[in-house]
């Protein structure tokens, strides 16, 4: 929290906070969310991340808990993620087996939906 206050005081434009929830699927927290305290301490744009789906993202932005949400795994598996959200389309699952590998597989080979899907 002190760090967020200090960054706010020197005019840092935005913070992105990765905070896995208690039931997180990519790491899990052992305490209630700290993001609200950061929100109060930091005056710039706050971007939250980890285990968000579209509904949870909309809820947190609409409630003022965040200015924006960053998506990691959903964006890896869905290169057209904003379009899928906008159209309510099904999301592809990311493949854990290709995480942090060195080649193209698992990074640039997920297909966008066809225009008429
Ligand atoms: C394969 C993979 C690569 C990632 N690479 C980075 C990275 O280079 N820098 C970074 O800050 N986070 C990286 N992340 C973490 C994501 O940005 C994000 O914080 C994490 O996946 C949790 O968000 P999510 O629940 O939306 O996936 C990576 C995650 C995955 C699965």
Phi, psi of 90 (to 5 degrees): -65, 145
Ligand 1 center to residue 6 CA distance, Å? 26
- With cut-offs at 50, 70 and 90, classify the pLDDT of residue 114: confident
Tell me the per-residue pLDDT of 34-81, one tens digit each, with 9 for 90 and over.
Answer: 999 999 999 999 999 999 999 999 999 999 999 999 999 999 999 999
- With cut-offs at 50, 70 and 90, classify the pLDDT of residue 117: low
Tell me the per-residue pLDDT of 10-31, one tens digit each, with 9 for 90 and over.
Answer: 999 999 999 999 999 999 999 9
**Ligand 1 pocket check: which of 72, 75, 92, 108 to mutate, most ligand atoms within 8 Å of Cβ?**
72
How many whole angstroms separate alpha carbon 75 and alpha carbon 77? 5
Domain residue extents for the chain: 2-70, 71-117
How many whole angstroms separate alpha carbon 60 and alpha carbon 30? 20
What lines the ligand 1 site, CB under 6 Å? 18, 26, 49-52, 71-74, 76, 99-100
**Regarding predicted confidence, which is higher, 21 or 117?**
21
pTM beyond 0.85: yes
How many whole angstroms separate alpha carbon 106 and alpha carbon 108? 6
Ligand 1 center to residue 73 CA distance, Å? 7
How many whole angstroms separate alpha carbon 112 and alpha carbon 114? 6
β-bridge partners, 68: 47
């Amino acid at each position: 929290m002190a760090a967020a206050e200090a960054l706010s005081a020197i005019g840092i434009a935005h913070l992105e906070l990765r905070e896995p929830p208690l039931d997180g699927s990519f790491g899990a927290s052992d305490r209630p969310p700290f993001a609200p305290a950061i929100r109060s301490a930091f005056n710039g744009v706050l971007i939250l991340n980890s285990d968000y789906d579209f509904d949870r993202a909309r809820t947190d932005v609409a409630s003022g808990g965040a200015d924006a949400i960053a998506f990691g795994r959903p964006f890896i598996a869905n290169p057209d993620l904003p379009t899928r959200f906008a159209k309510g389309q099904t999301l592809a699952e990311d493949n854990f087996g290709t995480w942090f590998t060195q080649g193209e597989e698992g990074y640039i080979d997920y297909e966008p939906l066809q225009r008429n899907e």
